Amino acid sequence: MRVHLGSDHAGFELKTHVAEWLREQGYDVVDHGPVEYDPVDDYPPFVLRVGQAVVNDRGSLAVVIGGSGNGEQIAANKVPGVRAALAWNDETAGLAREHNDANVLSVGARMHSLDEATRLVERFLTTPFSGDERHLRRIQMIGQFESTGELPELPAPPSL
């Protein structure tokens, strides 16, 4: 499986570690940068390229990394077709894939040790989407809104 990576200065060390770990595990890694540490770089140029790449490369997944992971998640989710999830523990990393069919994981390098962050990436990459009808329905609603701007219908109020 191909995994796209991107970060900013705060996530550079973790991205380098994750890229190495992924290659050792047999993943095809595409590093969208940065290629060297720059203490004042900005994450959008790297993260938006990761988002575009994962959408254009069907079947691939992606990991974006920053200090907290919040900004990277926000930026990635601006790319149509991206479903980026911020993970802060094993369960959220797994549920991002299982329930939301997320294609981008966002991780905060300042929030986790290298081992913890690597475990989050592993959980994300190895958890399949459940395909449950309720999850598919919700993802389709989001995709419909993304492409048309039309809000989904509200459910009918419960009968009394």
- Provide the edge-to-edge strand list for the sheet that holds 104-108: 28-31, 2-7, 61-66, 104-108, 84-86
Of 72, 91, 146, 153, the catalytic one is 72
Residue in 48, 44, 38, 50 with CA at minimum distance from that of residue 13:
38
| 72 in active site | yes
Angle at the Cα of 90 from the Cα atoms of 145 and 30, rounded to 5 degrees: 65
Of 99, 112, 116, 122, the catalytic one is 99
CA distance 75 to 82: 10
Give 3-state DSSP helix, strand, coil % of the chain, rounded to 5: 45, 15, 40
| Active centre residues (catalytic) | 72, 99
